[in-house]
Structure formats: C-alpha cells, structure tokens
Amino acid sequence: VAPGSLLALDLGGTQVRAAAVSPEGVVTGVRRAQTPVADGPRAIEAACVRLLRGVASEVPVVAAVGISSAGPVDPWRGVVTDPPNLGPVFRDVPLASVVEEALGVPTFLDRDTQLAAVGEGTLGAARGSRDFIYVTISTGLGGAVVSGGRLLRGPDGTAGELGHLTVDLDGPACGCGARGHLEAIASGRAIASAGEAAARSGASPLLAARLEATGTAGSLSARDVAEASDAGDAAAGAILERAFEAFAAAAVSLVDVFNPERIVVGGSLAEAMPERFFEPARAAIAAHAFRDPGRRVRIVRAALGPDVSLVGAAVAAAVRAGIAREIGLAPDFEGADLDPGGA
Ligand SMILES: [Zn+2]
C-alpha cells in the first residue's frame, strides 16, 4: 500500500502553484494563484495553505509536502528569510511550520534553485551524475552546486548563488548591490535593462521605436532585445553577445573551480536560445579551462521544464521524510545527502 501522495508548492514573487507529484515526477492537479504580495505575509501564507488544501482534497492521503521558495531561505528551519520579491515585510516567515500545522503532514522547504538541482539530479538531465552544476537563466539568474552527490549549502544555506559570480569588475550594478555580477549582465532583467538604456541613448533605433510605442519605462523585455538583434540592430546584438560572453566566462570558472561532469542549464531565456548560450561557453571552456575537466564537462539543457522546482520539492520532501525508497523513488542522491540535518 502506497503511504500517500507527495504535494509540492512553488512560491514565487508573481505566482504560487501547488500540485501533486508522482514518484516518476509527473505533476498533476496544479492549482495556482497570484501571490498577494501587497496584502502581506499572512495573506501569502493563507494562499499557500488554501492551494495545498485544494490539491490535498483530491488525493486519498498526503505523505509529505515540499515547498520551493525564492531565496534566501533557511532550509533547516523551513524559513523564508529575506526574499527580495515578496514585499517589504515578508521577513523570516516560518512557512514550513505554518503549512505543517495547517495540513498535519511533514513539510520541508528549500530554495527553488536547490530543489531544481534535486529534480534534475534524480529525474532529469543530471540523472546518474554526482558532480554537476545547475544554472537557470530567466528573469533572474540562479543556480546550485552538487558535489560528490551533496548539495553545496554552506552554514547559512546560501551557497550556490551562481548569479552573483563577478564576471566584470567594472560591470553594471547588480540587484544585490555589487557590480559586474553574472546576473547583472546575462539575466533577462539585465538584458531588458541594457536594451532600455540603448533605446534612451539612441544607440538602438529599433528598441527606441519599440519603447516609444509603449511609452512606459521598464516595458522592454529580453525578447524585444533578441527580436531587435535578429532584425539587424547592432546595439541589441551587442547586448546579447555580452550576455553570452558573461555566461561563457562564468562557465570556465565553474569548470575550473568545481570540476563538474555536467552543467545543466534551464530557465525560459536559456530555453529560448540554448545554443546561443552554450556554443560560446563550450568554445571558452575548450580554450581556457583546465584541460581534463574541460574535456570532461558537458553543457546540457535542463529536462524538467517549468515544473522543475515542484518536482524537486516533492523529491526532497520524500527523501527528508524518509519515505523515498518506500514509494519507489530511487534517487541517485543518498537520503543523507539531501537532508540538511539539524544544524
Ligand atoms: Zn549580485
């Protein structure tokens, strides 16, 4: 007899999603709502509980709940500590405890990118590998490092924030306050913002026309920049090339520093133009990385798509609840490797 279903919740700055996830990683019964950021932490907690209760009402028994949240989080206490996108008063919210009390089942919380790495490592593009790096390139840019089958966490749980690697000492300001970080050059937000600057300075006639058509600051997207580049706009092309170069430089450093077998890359921006990111990175690794790790590493597309954090949250919840083998989930990670322990 199966001990029950795994539920997963993905809390982001614009949307909350809850679903049931099978041991094979199939996501069903998805419920979603806008994140009520303006209404404060209690409203966000209530939305999470409501969506999970809805999913729970459609399965016989719930075994465990996994929560994926934008970072930073404290995975040991299940607390969302200091998230930039959930409003100014959403601080140190013990979301795992809130959900555990409301639903009466073991609940575990971790950072979205860490859980994405867990998902790709057990059921996706890094299956079978104990040394890999996960990178997501979408509006933001984040990641996770798995070394020797263990998620790299650090004592504060913040390790693996790959978006904040410095790739240009004199580069643009990052959202974190530092300068020249990978996220400040290669993320969708950074590309859009550079596109808007090029529109305003007159460097990009196509983007200037597009900005004028909408008339609002912040209305350009990375897609606009890519389309302008495809239409022959040189400034837009240069912005994209800079993003690809930044990713390539970071990839060389990741290979030299972590010696991964694979670099698994997901996120909407990378999935829209994977080879444009991957080819310069492969060339840079061949030219500049240490010889043996450079020959070993493979840069591959993520396999689990936009549900990756839901899948990873469910897998991690099963492992941390000690029921992974019982339900037929045979992760390539050992249970102890995923369990952040009692620190
Ligand atoms: Zn930064």
What 3-state class would DSSP assign to 258? helix
| Ligand 1 center from residue 190 Cα (angstroms) | 11
Per-residue model confidence (pLDDT) at position 343: 38
Per-residue model confidence (pLDDT) at position 7: 98
Q: What angle do CA 32, 37, 42 make, to 5 degrees?
A: 90
Beta bridge partners of 262: 132, 298
| Ligand 1 center from residue 329 Cα (angstroms) | 36
Show the tokens assigned to 261. 């077998």
| Ligand 1 center from residue 184 Cα (angstroms) | 7
| Ligand 1 center from residue 292 Cα (angstroms) | 30
Q: In the chain, which residues have pLDDT < 70?
A: 1-2, 330-343
| Ligand 1 center from residue 90 Cα (angstroms) | 21
The per-residue pLDDT for range 24-41, each reduced to its tens digit, is 899 999 999 999 999 999
Show the tokens assigned to 50. 């409501």
| Ligand 1 center from residue 118 Cα (angstroms) | 24
| Ligand 1 center from residue 102 Cα (angstroms) | 36
Per-residue model confidence (pLDDT) at position 325: 83
Per-residue model confidence (pLDDT) at position 1: 43
| Ligand 1 center from residue 82 Cα (angstroms) | 15
What 3-state class would DSSP assign to 302? coil
Nearest to 124 by CA among 262, 328, 286, 289: 262
| Ligand 1 center from residue 91 Cα (angstroms) | 20
Task: Name the amino acid, one letter, at 226.
Answer: A
| Ligand 1 center from residue 164 Cα (angstroms) | 4
| Ligand 1 center from residue 160 Cα (angstroms) | 12
The per-residue pLDDT for range 261-308, each reduced to its tens digit, is 999 999 999 999 999 999 999 999 999 999 999 999 999 999 999 999
Per-residue model confidence (pLDDT) at position 26: 94
The per-residue pLDDT for range 233-248, each reduced to its tens digit, is 999 999 999 999 999 9
Per-residue model confidence (pLDDT) at position 327: 83
Determine the Cα–Cα distance for residues 144 and 113; give it in Å rounded to an integer.
6
